[in-house]
């Protein structure tokens, strides 16, 4: 990727699923600081340790599972629903707006045309600092996937042909 960038074939390099451990193991060897790290991120898993590292290097966090992959316990969470009522928005919009205000790039997916539209209608309101704090308090510090698990490294190594 660095060679392709040097040749002008791409502008920026992004990485994915780099936990603090993976970041600290590999990124110091890179000649180019990644522009973005796409990781699981939503109110239940706020990646606080990783974000401190990314912020230090001005690297953007891009959220996958921004809606918890449709997890009802997130979408129907009491705090989320009460804020949806307060701001006259739906639960998805409250969750995505929280993530945007936290500085993340969000990547929600929907096959439902109405939700594809509503998931974009995020720029006509602002969550107050007090309401942001309520959503920050939902953090469980753990996501659905664990990229540091040894089985993940084995799976990736067996899936790709790696040459020097
Ligand atoms: N880099 C990685 O390792 C990685 C891993 C996982 C995912 N991703 C990427 O991240 C993106 C998002 O992942 P994802 O689709 O699994 O998770 P997601 O965007 O958090 O959730 C999508 C689910 O939420 C539902 N949904 C969408 N908008 C909604 C709303 N406003 N209210 C209620 N439910 C809503 C969708 O159902 P409907 O279709 O019925 O609306 C779908 O079931 C995808 O592009 C995926 O490829 C990357």
Q: What is the pLDDT of residues 121-156, one digit of tens each?
A: 999 999 999 999 999 999 999 999 999 998 988 898
Verify whether ligand 1 is closer than 6 Å to residue 109 (CB atom). yes
Dihedral angle over CA of 90, 95, 100, 106, nearest 10: -100
Verify whether ligand 1 is closer than 6 Å to residue 17 (CB atom). yes
* Residues 38/107, Cβ–Cβ less than 8 Å: yes
Residue nearest to atom 6 of ligand 1 (CA): 64
Verify whether ligand 1 is closer than 6 Å to residue 117 (CB atom). no
Distance CA 77, CA 138 (A): 9
Six token digits for residue 6 = 């040097």
* 72 Cα to the center of ligand 1, angstroms: 12
* 30 Cα to the center of ligand 1, angstroms: 31
* 8 Cα to the center of ligand 1, angstroms: 32
Distance CA 24, CA 39 (A): 15
Cα of first residue to Cα of last residue in the chain, in angstroms, is 14
Short-list 23, 25, 56, 61, CA closest to 40: 61
Q: What is the pLDDT of residues 33-49, one digit of tens each?
A: 999 999 999 999 999 99
Q: Where are the domains of the chain?
A: 2-159
Kindly indicate whether the domain formed by 2-159 is annotated with CATH number 3.40.50.720: no
pTM for this one? 0.95
Verify whether ligand 1 is closer than 6 Å to residue 143 (CB atom). no
């Amino acid at each position: 990727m660095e060679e392709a960038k040097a040749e002008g074939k791409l502008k920026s390099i992004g990485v994915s699923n780099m936990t603090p451990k993976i970041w600290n193991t590999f990124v110091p060897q890179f000649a180019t600081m990644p522009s973005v790290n796409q990781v699981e991120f939503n109110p239940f898993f706020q990646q606080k340790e990783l974000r401190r590292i990314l912020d230090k290097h001005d690297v953007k966090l891009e959220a996958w599972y921004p809606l918890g992959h449709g997890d009802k316990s997130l979408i129907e969470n009491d705090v989320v629903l009460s804020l949806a009522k307060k701001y006259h928005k739906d639960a998805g919009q409250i969750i995505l707006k929280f993530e945007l205000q936290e500085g993340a790039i969000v990547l929600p997916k929907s096959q439902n045309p109405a939700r594809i539209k509503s998931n974009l209608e995020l720029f006509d309101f602002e969550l107050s600092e007090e309401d942001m704090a309520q959503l920050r308090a939902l953090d469980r510090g753990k996501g659905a996937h664990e990229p540091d698990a040894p089985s993940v490294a084995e799976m990736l190594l067996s899936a790709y042909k790696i040459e020097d």
